[in-house]
Structure 1
Amino acid sequence: MPCTTLLVGRRASADGSPLIARTEDSSAGSFDPKRVVVVRPEDQPRTYTSVLGGRTIELPEEPLRYTAVPNALPDEGFWGCAGINAANVAMSATETLTSNPRVLGADPLVVRDGETPGGFGEEDFLTLVLPYIRSAREGVQRLGALLEEHGTYEMNGIAFGDAEDIWWLETVGGHHWIARRVPEDHYATVPNQLGLDSFDLADAEGPGRDHLASPDLRAFLAEHHLDLTLREDGQGADVFTPREAFGSHTEHDHVYNTPRAWYMQRTLSPHAEDWDAGRPGASPDSDDLPWSRRPERLLTVEDVKDVLSSHYQGTVYDPYSPRGTVAERRAFRPIGINRHNALAILQIRPDLPESHRGLQWIGFASLPFTTLVPMFTNVDAAPEYLTTTDRTVSTDSFYWSCRMLAALADPHYHHVIPLIERYQQRTQALDRAAVHEADRQAAGAGSAAEVPALLEAANTEIAEKIREATAALLGQVLFTASDRMTNGFHLSDE
């Protein structure tokens, strides 16, 4: 089960930008090469058929241009991953979620021919939704309608963002869904586990300020006795706990999912709990970690990248540390895992003009060893370094360069991590300088029509700088790995 999501509300971020971030991780034993593309309106299909689900749908006319991070090998469909459209609306799809037999019996996942997936799923959602929405709320509503009509073959969490808000949608069984707005001064953590810890049905059925849901959700809960909230006499039934009703609390969760939420919250709210005391609600295997918290300071893109690269540093659970026992070091699934395909951090900057408001930060492969490339999204094409990914391993591809770098560095972690950290700091400084300069040029443009060409040139320039820095680091790590090969021998070894 793959992926980790971190959502940051606008009043919790350093520059007032809502931040949507998710690692797309492949399943165990597989790696899915990714690339970055810009899908222009003329390239968007008008009739769409899901490769896995086998469902065909007619799509609306006049789609918006949007960015995506699809599979480089289209055997199983597009898998758009994450992007920002021409209206500066962001979408990340999807975070695979857990569920329980009561939900899956009440509203089964969609199959055809008895076992083949049916309806729509992660492969499809970005293509079906992102080109047609002009706000985060519209994204929830469009995807919700598609789920109600066509259904899905898997449980997923999907994020939508604009300059003001982030909405988080969780699928419930084959056709139902719930969605909640991220509190503006909070961050939210989602590690492959259905995580919403509170939901207000009255708000969802009424004004929908912070909650939206399938229209029949209350009846669905009642008919199948899914609401497990223990209430006092006379207490209203409007507020319930979705993770108890729809989610899971298995031993698998305690090894694979809850430790990631624990470490993200431990890092971003270090003084909120005694994180190492093993107490309920603040331990790696806790089922009661809140879905969202206030950070102890404002958060940056770099903070987000660091958290999603983490492997329990500073604890006995770090697989690279000598502190714990072998069993402790292998106890939990790291956030920064070998199976990362891609990281997308989606940033809509409300203090800037629409013409250069959207930024998509791209990372590939195992994140503890790699860096980010920022890409302005109001463009017609992505830089070649981010798009040239296929079956051929090549340093002309950012994806394959990152994959090689991580694989070479991992066995020699303590020898190369100083090189990696200097590279990450240098390249992230280059990223920031490039963004500042492109913002300055865009602000000085004669008209908004001139901005896309300026941004496209800026994207290419920073991608080339990252290419040079990555190639240099790859050479250094290769030398270290070669020098430490098992069959090495010197006369002085005698």
Structure 2
Amino acid sequence: MSCTTILVGKNASYDGSTIAARIEDSASGMFKAKKFIVVEPKDQPIHYKSVRTDCEIELPDNPMRYTCVPNVKKWRGVWGACGVNEKNVALTATETIAVNELVLGADPLVEYVEGEVKKGGIGEEDFVTIVLPYISTAREGVLRLGALLEKYGTYEVNAIAIHDVDEIWWLETIGGHHWMARRVPDDAYVVNPNQLGSDYFDFEDKENFLCSDDLKEFVEENHLNLNKDGKFNPRLVFGTNSDSDKVYNTPRAWIMLRYFNRNSYKWDGPDADYRPDSENLPWCLVPERKITIEDVKYVMSHHYQGTPYDCYGNNTNPNEKGIFRPIGISRNDVLGITQIRPYMPEAIRSIQWLAFGSNVYNAIVPFYPNVRKTPEYLSNTTLKPSVENVYWANRIIAALCDPHFNTTNQHVERYQLAVQSKGHEIINKTDKKFLAEEGQIDVHDLLEEANEEMAAYLEEETTDLLDTVLYVASMAMKNGFARSDN
């Protein structure tokens, strides 16, 4: 699994919200259909059983309603991706990361063999389902997930973001049973692309750092600390530094940091402060200006435009063009951005923004998660291609546009502007209506109506874009011929 994450502290965002965004990407050679649903308490299991490992967990009997974006095909588990619960706590799981051989030797991953049943181990397929319905704060979520990891172990190395209206926490698993978590500074943003990201940890600061009770002793006993300056850099202790990181992972962090702090450092040339292969890119920075949802969508769609590495660019040097793994890649399944707004009443505080398919060619769309049902255009995704749902419609659009990028890009940009503008318009209108009529209207009816309006507009615009790019691509077919051609 490969993903990209960005987290925005409340004082770094444009409106004081905490914002967490992650793309769930399929593994190479795969494309996973996704849908957006609400899980009611009556539908939440009490006796939970993992699909991949057969791990059995008894869950509390008082779950909350929550949203999630699961796989349509459940053969590998739920894979809830991201969601928001009734208490306005959001969780996104997971960013696949890696730890080094010393760590895995000291605390091996719970053994997982394809096709064999193993009693033990939880992973990405489980986290949203077994954590989100039971937590009232982000910190509570970190502690719950940490306790589950210690008890059941994990067969993979992951990072998970959990946030509420005040705090964003980033939890990284360490080997089979250990973990650490860091609170995102309020005035900063964080980028993380498939690497163990945290570059600082303070065992004494319990307000901003949490971990397994024995993590410090675990490091000392197994001689893991490679730091020489007295500081504790988890990347040096737990992380990896492979050659593949320099083309697959670190360039994604570099392009995101470059976007938000363009003037703070020199990013290009032989004397750059940071390069795409730099091993010391900051985990978090204070941005040069406040960050919007559209900024997040833009960087989560990046293919290195404005650099020699753009896979769609005109650079003729084969040693540079397209050499780095884009953020906006063909295998994007879903981009989820959860936004928790401090200036709104709890009933309408959260927004879950979603975009399906390759991010270069889709639009980010807002939905209220405090609802009992979601629009069919997002919830009825089928396993077979169909333009009746947004996942497949955007997948088809991307496949048509990719070989005709220069002639379709203007149409995609117009689509993104229209859909994202309408999203803000509907949110503003609905917020005002709720504030004006609070106590006189059913909030679920109001928010479901807003979501349906957004979905209807999205379907109309997506269908129009599909019609346009299909025409452009058809006109460029190599077997085109008319009598006037000779």
Give the TM-score normalised by the residue count of structure 2: 0.97
Matched, 1:335 2:327: yes
Alignment of 1:134 with 2:132, yes or no, is no
Q: Give the whole-Å Cα distance in 2 for the aligned partners of 1:112 and 1:321.
A: 42
Amino acid at match of 1:194: L
Alpha carbons 1:18, 1:165 under 8 Å: kept: yes
**Cα contact 1:442–1:455 (8 A) shared by 2:** no
2:146 maps to 1:154: no
What is residue 468 of structure 2 aligned with on the other side? 476
1: CA distance, partners of 2:215 / 2:275: 32
Q: State the shift of 1:449 in Å.
A: 6.9
Aligned partner of residue 352 in structure 2, secondary structure: strand
SS at match of 1:347: strand
Aligned match of 2:430: 438
Alignment deviations for residues 119-142 of structure 1 (CA, whole Å, 9 cap, x no partner): 000000000000000000001000
Change (3 A) 1:96 1:113: closer
Q: Which residue of 1 aligns with 2:226?
A: 228
2-structure distance, mates of 1:448, 1:261: 47
1:164-223 per-position Cα deviation (integer Å, ceiling 9, x unaligned) = 1100000000000000000101000000000100000122xxxx1110000001110001
In the TM superposition, 1:12-411 aligns within 5 A as: 12-111=12-111, 118-203=120-205, 208-231=206-229, 239-279=231-271, 282-411=274-403
CA RMSD of aligned residues (A): 1.4
Q: Report how far residue 452 of structure 1 moved.
A: 1.2
4+ residue runs over 2 A deviation? 112-118, 277-281, 490-494
C-alpha distance in structure 2 between counterparts of 1:411 and 1:65, whole Å: 42
Alpha-carbon displacement from aligned partner over 1:451-471 (angstroms, at most 9, x marks no partner)? 111001100111100100110
Give yes or no for contact 2:33–2:382 (8 Å, CA) kept in 1. yes
Listed one character per residue, the Cα deviations across residues 436-491 of structure 1 (whole Å, up to 9, x for unaligned) are 01111211234287111100110011110010011001000000011111111133
Contact 1:281–1:288 at 8 Å: present in 2 too? no
1:14-66 CA distance string (max 9 Å, x none) = 00001000000000100000000000111100000000121001000110100
Q: Structure 1: 5+ residue runs without aligned partners?
A: none
1:291-341 C-alpha deviation (Å, 9 max, x unpaired): 000111000111000100010000000000012512311210001000000
Q: Deviations over 1:355-414 (max 9, x none)?
A: 000100010000011112211011001111101111121111010111011111111000
Assess if the C-alpha contact under 8 Å between 1:385 and 1:398 holds in 2: yes
Q: Distance in 1 between matches of 2:304 and 2:402?
A: 16
> Gapped runs of 5+ residues in structure 2?
none
- Counterpart of 2:300, as a letter, is L
Which is further off, 128-137 or 105-114?
A: 105-114
**Separation (CA, whole Å) in 1 of partners of 2:113 and 2:443:** 51
2-structure distance, mates of 1:462, 1:73: 26
Distance 2:257 2:115 in 1: 38
In structure 2, the partner of 1:487 is: 479
Distance 2:461 2:113 in 1: 51
Q: Distance in 2 between matches of 1:175 and 1:480?
A: 53
Residues 122 and 448 (structure 1), Cα distance of their counterparts in 2 relative to 1, 3 Å cut: farther
Residues 355 and 448, structure 1, Cα contact 8 Å, conserved in 2:
no
Aligned to 1:2: 2
Farther-moved stretch of structure 1 (389-398 vs 416-425): 389-398
Distance 1:102 1:279 in 2: 34
Instruction: Give SS of 1:337's match.
Output: coil
Partners of 1:53 and 1:121 within 8 A in 2: no
Alpha-carbon distance in 1 for matches of 2:186, 2:155 = 32
Residues 252-292 of structure 1: per-residue CA shift (max 9 Å, x gap):
10010000000000011101111002457500001100000
State percent identity of aligned pairs: 50
How far apart, CA to CA, are the structure 2 residues paired with 1:330 and 1:356? Answer: 42
- How far the C-alpha of 1:114 sits from its partner, in A, is 10
Distance 1:379 1:112 in 2: 37
CA distance in 1, matches of 2:377, 2:361: 18
Other structure's SS at 2:173 match: strand
Name the CA distance, whole Å, in 1 between partners of 2:440 and 2:476.
Answer: 54
- Once residues 173 and 212 of structure 1 are traced to their aligned partners in structure 2, the CA distance between those partners, rounded to angstroms, is 16
* 8 Å Cα contact 2:266/2:273 also seen in 1: no
Give the structure with the higher percent helix.
Answer: 1
Could you tell me whether the CA contact under 8 Å between 2:40 and 2:372 is conserved in 1?
Answer: yes
Contact kept? 1:195, 1:291, Cα under 8 Å: yes
How far apart, CA to CA, are the structure 2 residues paired with 1:279 and 1:120? 45
Q: Using the alignment, how far apart are the partners of 2:191 and 2:241 within structure 1?
A: 16
Do 1:23 and 1:344's aligned partners in 2 also have CA atoms closer than 8 Å? yes
